[in-house]
Structure 1
């Protein structure tokens, strides 16, 4: 356990009328008592744990800095597992700076980024995946990302991994026990049962790693490319979706020459919309570079909105389908016919038939009619996007991986369990089986911090803000 006492402002600057200064460590209560004065003169050291006390902060000369509320937490029943005092003062930056300076003069050290959460991990209050979820919770910008962070912080992912490691430990114990009796050729581990167990573990690890594509999209925004010919209305549609004039709109072809990105939350899910340069034949060097980026973003997107000018759709489809459709396999494709305020019902019917011909051999496709300039049916497109993501409920038994470090560890663990299965099927000796099993356990332990290094911990917690 660290022997020094740390302090920092735990609230974002300039965000409200109240700020919270956290003090944590063995001397947290003693140091705070040197500067805190309650109306009844009773020190915090004599107060009950988990209680809040009104008083004032005074400097060394007895001058009052602010009226505050000091909340007392006694180890191990605190976020960090240490004695902790949280001082709620007024939100003035000057007041916060003065209180921090006073605490430093009384013996505190200014906390480094993520140090409070790292101490919570070190003291067993959180495992590493839960600690990382604290940062995800702070950074969450949608209901979906918030729900996943809460689920992970409360230990849903950790419980899943703990169950896997327990099964693997039983597995490797039986195999290694056989090695102790190798001369007697005793077999403690039923190979058929071990194979069934390894297959179940492989399925769970595969399910967790496969969930990363969805989890990463929810955390960082579902990448959604808006593509089409020049002047199809892509920039107008982007502006409608993000509810502001984000992109320049003009009747001149080739106005958008670079990629424009913005995010918006639709029904709790963050979408990262990408307005791309219109696709057409051009000799303009800058516009050609923009079109090249269009195809790069199309390849990176999970959802593609192909916006087609309904007034001359057959011509656009003829010119662009060979460039667009092959790149959309494995993605969700929405074909949106724009400017429908300028066509009749007969043309709508013809466009529906055109859509059917285009997508005959494709899956995960949908069609809609809209008028971006008149904001007609854009809400239906938004609902279609949300349905496309099809976000499952993140309960205890439905863990979704959102962290790239976790995903990498799961990939390594999956490789190890596949080698174990292969070894069981080919009759590999127990010592080699045990090595692969323990490697799988190692990578699962990296996720929760049962296996960790100072370098890994330093990298993870350095990404936190000071005060967390």
Structure 2
């Protein structure tokens, strides 16, 4: 019996709600014998005879005193989150009460759960696969409509179903190749090479958009970094304040007012954007401003989208020169500001450069057009309904794709079945690592250690 299986025999407990004083707190208990354990400290209905999914009022007590009046919810195996017997104690949200109840549960034989241990047990007990388990953490952390929808889709098995389908098809051919190896001396071929080639090509075509979706998925999960770049006094801070609808950045008529990177987030059409207002880029002898300008250039390199803001033809040419220094994978937006003050300049530039967006950050003109463009730039990255948001999944999809390419190369050069089998097994291994079909204790510890305690 391995360490994970031994730990699963133990009763675990933890606070499942955020710490701090509140009206209600929930203490979660799970594992073999947990209902009997809680029953010994609960005065009310006999929990051992209670039906699953029932709630009971009573008190938690020591031998000498009542700690709190509580509601106890009973979940009996396999109809619980962990698929084990589980109990949830709803008590008042006093830190003192929570500590006393947890101490009492531990004195009666439980231990404090490790981070993510409830979800880990749910995975080990077959409640869901590893992708869905990781989606639980993403769902808890979701702070926008898009990240919520993506996590919920993965929790419901959208990504897992696609991977399982791929793996099932590949296993069929892998078994035929392995069968050939058993009859190697008889020179028989069970797996048609043309059929295998068609399957591998089809699998690669399915995996490619999943790999490509990672940038989009990462943006959904962590927010899209957008740097606002331009010369001093073109209105970068005013634009940030307008987008955020608050006075986040100091605005003055003095060039070089912004001397550091200012960052904040907003939600646009369900997507989270991280806007970065930067120091105006110019030649300066001011030490502090110089440091701010260097940070501006760093923010520009890290951003997925760069808004080049300008209010004159000279500024526009300067921004174009900056744009040529950036990597080609960035989205660049050319935005002319102060069209209420310089309408002729805006008209001239737009005639020769129709991609320019015209705004007045001060008067909120054109802001909707700008935000719509930002949203469309992000959405156009989505190549598939199933979006990859996890770096671990992305890494194994890349390795799967490489192994499948090796299979195709082997078919093209006529390698023997044992080499084909090796590359197919490697593809299956990496797909299995994603869903948890192939798993190690170290992998589980690494994944679930990132969860909060109580989940």
State the match for 1:362 in structure 2: none
Please, which of 444, 450, 454 is the counterpart of residue 463 of structure 1? 450
2:71 is matched with which residue?
69
Equivalence for 2:333: 334
C-alpha distance in 2 between matches for 1:316 and 1:350: 14
Instruction: Give distance in 2, aligned partners of 1:89 and 1:355.
Output: 64
* TM-score of the superposed pair, with normalisation by structure 2: 0.94
Residue 403 of structure 1 corresponds to which residue in structure 2? 390
Per the alignment, residue 317 of structure 2 pairs with 318
Q: Which residue of 2 aligns with 1:56?
A: 59
1:15 CA drift (Å): 7.3
Choose which of 350, 353, 356 in structure 2 pairs with 1:352: 350
- The answer on whether the counterparts of 1:304 and 1:328 sit within 8 Å (CA) in structure 2 is no
- Contact kept, 8 Å, 1:8 with 1:111, in 2: the verdict is yes
- Over 3 Å counting, the alpha-carbon distance change for 1:267 and 1:58 in structure 2 is same
Superposition deviation, residue 175 in structure 1: 1.2
2:104 pairs with 102, 105, 109, which one?
A: 102
Shift of 1:392: 8.6
Whether contact under 8 Å (1:212, 1:401) holds in the other structure is yes
Contact 2:144 2:271 in 1 (8 A): yes
Q: Helix, strand or coil: the match of 2:115?
A: coil
Residue 389, structure 1, aligned to residue 370, structure 2: no
Task: Report the CA distance between 1:341 and its aligned residue.
Answer: 2.0
- SS for the counterpart of 2:68 is strand
Residues of 1 paired with 2:21 and 2:439: CA distance?
A: 36
Corresponding position of 2:241: 239
- Residue 410 of structure 1 deviates from its aligned partner by 0.8
Runs of 4+ in 1 over 6 A off after TM superposition: 391-394
User: Which residue of structure 1 lines up, in the alignment, with residue 220 of structure 2?
Assistant: 218
How much has 1:413 moved relative to structure 2? 0.9
CA distance in 2 between partners of 1:259 and 1:434 (Å) = 53
CA shift digits 1:319-369 (9 cap, x unpaired): 33112245263332222211122123x44321312423xxxxxxxxx4322
Task: Number of aligned residue pairs: give it.
Answer: 449
C-alpha distance in 2 between matches for 1:405 and 1:157: 14
Q: In the TM superposition, what is the alpha-carbon distance from 1:133 to its structure 2 partner?
A: 0.7
Post-superposition offset of 1:176: 1.5
Task: Give, in angstroms, the shift of residue 403 of structure 1.
Answer: 0.4
Deviation readout 1:10-37 (Å, 9 max, x if unpaired): 0112374221110001121011111112
Q: Does 1:425 align with 2:412?
A: yes
Partner of 1:266: 268
Task: Give the equivalent residue in structure 1 for 2:369.
Answer: 380
TM score, norm. by length of structure 1: 0.91
> What residue is the counterpart of 1:27 in the other structure?
33
The Cα of 1:121 is off from its aligned counterpart by 1.2
Alpha-carbon distance between aligned partners in 2 of 1:60 and 1:461, rounded to the nearest angstrom: 37
Q: Distance in 2 between matches of 1:452 and 1:291?
A: 47
Unaligned runs of 5+ in 2: none
Q: Tell me by how many angstroms 1:408 deviates.
A: 0.8
In the other structure, the counterpart of 1:13 is 19
